[in-house]
Amino acid sequence: MTSGAPQRRLGTTDAVVLGLAAMLGTGVFAVWAPAAAAAGPWLLVSVLLAAVVAACNAASTADLAVAHPESGGGYVYGHERLSPGAGRLAGVAFVVGKVSSAAAAAGVFGGYVLPSQPLTAAIPAVVVVSVLNSAGVRWTARGAYTLVGGTLVVLLAVVVVGLCGPGSEVPGPAPEPAPGVGEPSVLGVLTAAGLVFFAFAGYARIATLAGEVVDPGRTLRRAIGIALGVALVTYLLVAVALLVGLGTERLAVEPSPLVVLVDANGANALGVLVRVGAAVAAGSALLSVLVGVSRTTVAMAHRGDLPAGLGRIGRRGTPVRADAVGGLVAVALTVVAGPAAAIALSACSVLVYYAVINLAALRLPPAARRWPRWTAWLGLVLCLGLAVLLPPTPVLVSAVTLAVGWTAVTLLRPRWGRG
């Protein structure tokens, strides 16, 4: 094995597809029920609010990525623009959030491929994806093209059926909603926005590849904007189709609303396709999320915040050790948490991560900013607000995990022999 920097091989289209692979993955198949339960008929408002948060974060991320064109994302930005402690918080939050996202993706994959024994399919999926990532970023990008294309086709078919289908009685009895579920409120809209943000957060995957894209100044800004725009249009169309086809109350209690929607319109064959599409999308998300985790791990190792061995680059130009460790942690979390819990944990941690990014963007000089300062201020306030308004249990678990992780990294740093 040799040390060194990864090669710059990815263009704008590659970066867009890798970002979409993370955004059009687990969230679009798994987030609608809890979001509708919180926001009720105001679900579209939550989607738009989540998009506003994502756009503010994207603006700060793009400016910082151009100023610091290296792998590591918010960990590097916080370290360079704020303080080493802020960088460590961002790094820990990103790793926790994205490993949780990987666990959610694995859970969705297992639930659709082998519903009776989801872990039997979920765990091998994480292992296989870790091996693929170790084979090289270019291979991962090529695989993402097929996966993203297939996911978009499936979602488009669902939208067409939901909006244009003849409609019929939804099969099977509807689960009984809990009191207050689906009733609109401002607090519910904000809680739902935090959950839906989980589905938008994939553009962080693009920033973590800053050290591997050609012409970062041009590529990153274009790729983040294009990927975010495509994701927003897709989510709005899917949300409208679900609200029209199922109604708010039924949507709020259906764990697999896309499948139920097509079944309700007599498209049983399409229901099978949706199940396959969900599994494919979850695999796509795993490909993108785990490689982002390993790149942040490498950046932390190079700066002495994790053991130096995790920063080693293999003969194929990939961080094999970091890929393996990320995969192992994702497997462990997949075993102990279901997809819904993993989504909430990921959303909270990633919102904290972006709060650090927005704060770091405020430290950029005017000449280094393409976007106005108010976007960073708005992103900072919204990230912190949405994070604390998520369901209490994941907020508490996230706070404890981030505190323990940050403390451990800070105290153990001298033992790793780096200054």
Say whether pLDDT at 81 is over 90.
yes
Stronger pLDDT, 184 or 164, i.e. the higher one: 164
C-alpha 45/C-alpha 40 separation (Å) is 10
> Does residue 6 lie within any of the structural domains?
no
Most confident range (mean pLDDT) of 3-12, 199-208, 257-266 is: 257-266
pLDDT computed for residue 363 by the predictor: 94
Number of domains in the chain: 1
**Which of 175, 179, 192, 416 lies closest to 310, judged by CA?**
416
Mean pLDDT over 402-414 rounds to 85
> Does residue 7 lie within any of the structural domains?
no
Range of the domain at 154: 12-416
DSSP state of 290: H
Say whether pLDDT at 167 is over 60.
no
- In 131-154, which positions are buried (b, 16+ CB within 10 angstroms) versus exposed (e)? ebbbebbeebbebbbebbebbbeb
- In 5-19, which positions are buried (b, 16+ CB within 10 angstroms) versus exposed (e)? ebebebebebbbbbb
pLDDT band at 44 (very low <50, low <70, confident <90, very high): very high
E strands in 17-60? none
In percent, the amount of the chain with pLDDT more than 70 equals 84
> Does residue 200 lie within any of the structural domains?
yes
pLDDT computed for residue 234 by the predictor: 92
| Bridge partners, residue 2, by sequence | 313
Mean pLDDT over 76-81 rounds to 90
Greatest alpha-carbon pair distance for the chain in Å reads 67
| Whether the Cβ atoms of residue 248 and residue 40 lie closer than 8 Å to each other | yes
Mean pLDDT over 224-243 rounds to 90
Mean pLDDT over 245-269 rounds to 81
> Does residue 373 lie within any of the structural domains?
yes
pLDDT computed for residue 1 by the predictor: 41
Mean pLDDT over 297-325 rounds to 76
Say whether pLDDT at 240 is over 90.
yes
Stronger pLDDT, 382 or 309, i.e. the higher one: 382
Mean pLDDT computed over every residue of the chain: 81
pLDDT computed for residue 179 by the predictor: 47
pLDDT computed for residue 3 by the predictor: 45
> Does residue 21 lie within any of the structural domains?
yes
C-alpha 255/C-alpha 252 separation (Å) is 8
Mean pLDDT over 257-276 rounds to 80
> Does residue 3 lie within any of the structural domains?
no
**Which of 294, 309, 407, 283 lies closest to 24, judged by CA?**
283
pLDDT computed for residue 238 by the predictor: 93
Stronger pLDDT, 169 or 44, i.e. the higher one: 44
- Angle between helix axes 339-361 and 32-39 (nearest 10 degrees) is 70
Say whether pLDDT at 419 is over 60.
no
Per DSSP, the three-state class of 68 is coil
Say whether pLDDT at 376 is over 50.
yes
pLDDT computed for residue 170 by the predictor: 53
| Whether the Cβ atoms of residue 316 and residue 305 lie closer than 8 Å to each other | no
pLDDT computed for residue 332 by the predictor: 86
CATH number at residue 389: 1.20.1740.10
Distances (CA, A) of 191 to 37, 132, 218, 390: 10, 35, 35, 5
Cβ neighbourhood burial of 363 (10 Å; 0-12, 13-18, 19+): middle
Q: What is the dihedral of CA 91, 77, 28, 43, to 10 degrees?
A: 110
**Which of 200, 254, 182 lies closest to 262, judged by CA?**
254
C-alpha 213/C-alpha 335 separation (Å) is 34
Say whether pLDDT at 317 is over 80.
no
pTM for this structure? 0.82
Around Cβ 162, how many Cβ atoms within 10 Å?
26
> Does residue 334 lie within any of the structural domains?
yes
pLDDT band at 175 (very low <50, low <70, confident <90, very high): low
> Does residue 5 lie within any of the structural domains?
no
C-alpha 220/C-alpha 204 separation (Å) is 11
Say whether pLDDT at 56 is over 70.
yes
C-alpha 286/C-alpha 99 separation (Å) is 9
Lowest mean pLDDT segment, chosen from 145-149, 310-314, 346-350: 310-314
Stronger pLDDT, 58 or 284, i.e. the higher one: 58
- Angle between helix axes 216-246 and 186-200 (nearest 10 degrees) is 130
